[in-house]
Amino acid sequence: MQSIDKKYVYINTIGCQMNVYDSEQMIQHLEPMGYTASPSFEKADLIIVNTCTIRAKAEQKAFSFLGRLAKIKEKKPDMIIGVGGCIAQQEGRNILERAPFLDLVFGTHAIQRLPKHIEKITSKRCRIVDVEMASEIEELEFEKSIIPMQSAEGVSRFVTIMRGCDNYCTYCMVPYVRGREMSRDPEIIVKEARMLVASGVKEIFLLGQNVNSYGKKEGLCSFHELLSRINGIEGLLRIRFTTSHPKDLTEDLMRSFADLDRLCHHIHLPVQSGSNDVLKRMNRRYTKEVYIEKINQIRNICPEIAITSDIIVGFPGETENDFKQTLELLQLIEYDGLFAFQYSDRPNASASGFPNKISETIKQDRLNELLEFQGRITKKRNRALIGTIQEVLVEGFSKKETKNSPARKDPDYQLTGRTSTNKIVNFVCDDTSMNYRTMIGQIASVRIEKAFPHSLWGKLDRIDLTLTKIKGEESYAA
């Protein structure tokens, strides 16, 4: 057997959490070939750009990074450069023309074939394009393509539970670049989550474009059943998931927020617009009224739940009145946080052929107005938490000391984590004899003293051992 040379791979991940998971998968697949992930691209033998095509801006970001790589490749011709992810799937061979220095273009369903391609490129110095997609009957292929994580660092880890999307919202590229919706076997998901927890992970973040329809097509268990099985994993402190499509949000799933003790009290439920006309043209398949009803229902079941959303401004044909209705909806619902985007024309997505496109200036004005409007709401909701004690899962040390924190110079001093409602909390502790490092991965009770637009600030109240002590594990107090 040939000895394996140690080589470095650098992956630049652009886009959503699914790309983050896929990048980890790429590393899992490359490790047996001797590759180790490198934090910088200077010493890399292989560079991969894992791309996103959701909006034109994400595409520009990928191509500007590729522009930088062209110069590096001139100096290091042996270095292999590959483009993966959603632009690779969309553009295929065309990318080779735009970036002639590329060695590999591989789509969203080709990750498991990465080692084979790299081997061929290394030995034959050829260029490869692989954008083949698995068909619906090839579900097993999907399962085989994922190498469950054996161990992991960090407090929170993503686990993809399904891929693709069947919804065809008229603005969206995802169905075209990720393919048909396919769910993973619950047994394997639970096994993967268990392994992560055994290696020290405290929070599992389940991913899918529409988790509410998990398992339906394949006749697997429902999403709330999957949650309930993961909730039973000993040692796991928290479960999160994203994204939920409002049309598929069931009462059973809503009840999970009250019934499952580890499920975090946060739901990301993208509404996209507050106008029924726009929603119809977006093919979202719910009305504003149905959406509001679901929000009321979920707040009845779990009153403290935090709700966040996505909004697109300037969808083709969006009138001033449509936009006003979106603001009214924000006022009514009072989201805890919002991601807002200017509508971006995408190839394949049917809205790119819709009439009455909105000018860039109007889109920018509407976005600014909406962000300012929501900013006031978020501030109000965050301020309401001042004086309360929040349970924070400690993720690590906070990098930047906010100007309002005590004037201590030690950068390791301030800890950071999230509440169950997904609010970032930076906090300090008066007891300077404490070994802060042991608090990472534990749940700390923090008294909130200040609220900022995107985070809270507080002081450690206590570490709740009943929540954090895990059988056989050394606890903070020990």
Question: Smaller CB distance to ligand SAH: residue 272 or 374?
Answer: 272
Give the three-state DSSP class for 266.
strand
Q: Which residues contact 66 (CB under 8 A, 6 or more apart)?
A: 49, 83, 99, 102
Taking CB under 6 A as the rule, does residue 178 contact ligand SAH? no
Contact 446, 385 (CB under 8 A): no
Taking CB under 6 A as the rule, does residue 90 contact ligand SF4? no
What is the layout of strands, in order, in the sheet containing 337-342?
266-268, 306-313, 337-342
In the region spanning residues 176 to 235, those forming contacts with ligand F3S, defined by CB under 6 A, are 177-178
Contact 98, 64 (CB under 8 A): no
Question: Smaller CB distance to ligand SF4: residue 180 or 255?
Answer: 180
Q: Which own/partner pairs from 434-439 qualify as long-range (CB within 8 Å, at least 24 positions apart)?
A: 436/397, 436/412, 438/476, 439/394, 439/415, 439/463, 439/476
- Total residues belonging to the chain: 478
Residue found under tokens 């209705």: 325
| Residue window 139-178: x/- pattern of binding to ligand F3S, with contact defined by CB under 6 A | ----------------------------------xx--xx
Question: Which of 11, 26, 48, 86 touches ligand F3S by CB under 6 A?
Answer: 86
Taking CB under 6 A as the rule, does residue 269 contact ligand SF4? no
Query: What's the token pair of residue 317?
Result: 């044909």
Question: Which of 50, 89, 160, 210 touches ligand SF4 by CB under 6 A?
Answer: 210
Question: How would you class 277 by CB atoms within 10 Å of its CB: exposed for 0-12, middle for 13-18, buried for 19 or more?
Answer: middle
β-strand pairing of 203-207 with 156-160:
parallel
State the Cα–Cα distance between residues 231 and 104, nearest whole angstrom. 41
Identify what 207 binds: ligand F3S, ligand SAH, ligand SF4, none; CB under 5 to 8 Å per kind.
Answer: none
Question: Smaller CB distance to ligand SAH: residue 57 or 125?
Answer: 57
Query: What's the token pair of residue 349?
Result: 């997505």
Identify what 312 binds: ligand F3S, ligand SAH, ligand SF4, none; CB under 5 to 8 Å per kind.
Answer: ligand SAH
| Residue 37 bridge partners (DSSP) | 9
Question: Which of 63, 65, 101, 168 touches ligand SF4 by CB under 6 A?
Answer: 168
State the Cα–Cα distance between residues 413 and 102, nearest whole angstrom. 44
Question: Which of 15, 175, 208, 274 touches ligand F3S by CB under 6 A?
Answer: 15
Identify what 52 binds: ligand SAH, ligand F3S, ligand SF4, none; CB under 5 to 8 Å per kind.
Answer: ligand F3S
Question: Which of 31, 248, 259, 310 touches ligand SAH by CB under 6 A?
Answer: 310
Question: Which of 111, 162, 172, 204 touches ligand SF4 by CB under 6 A?
Answer: 172
Stretch that binds ligand SAH, among 101-109, 171-179, 252-260, 289-297 (CB under 6 A): 171-179
Question: Which of 25, 53, 213, 426 touches ligand F3S by CB under 6 A?
Answer: 53
Question: How would you class 386 by CB atoms within 10 Å of its CB: exposed for 0-12, middle for 13-18, buried for 19 or more?
Answer: middle
CB of 6 to ligand SAH, least distance (A): 38
Taking CB under 6 A as the rule, does residue 273 contact ligand SAH? no
State the Cα–Cα distance between residues 65 and 72, nearest whole angstrom. 11
Q: Where do contacts with ligand SAH occur on this chain (CB under 6 A)?
A: 54-55, 171-172, 174, 209-210, 243, 245, 270, 272, 310, 312, 341, 343-344, 346
Q: Where does this chain bind ligand SF4 (CB under 6 A)?
A: 165, 167-169, 172, 174-175, 209-210, 245
Which residue ranges make up the site for ligand F3S (CB under 6 A)?
15-16, 18-19, 52-54, 85-86, 173-174, 177-178
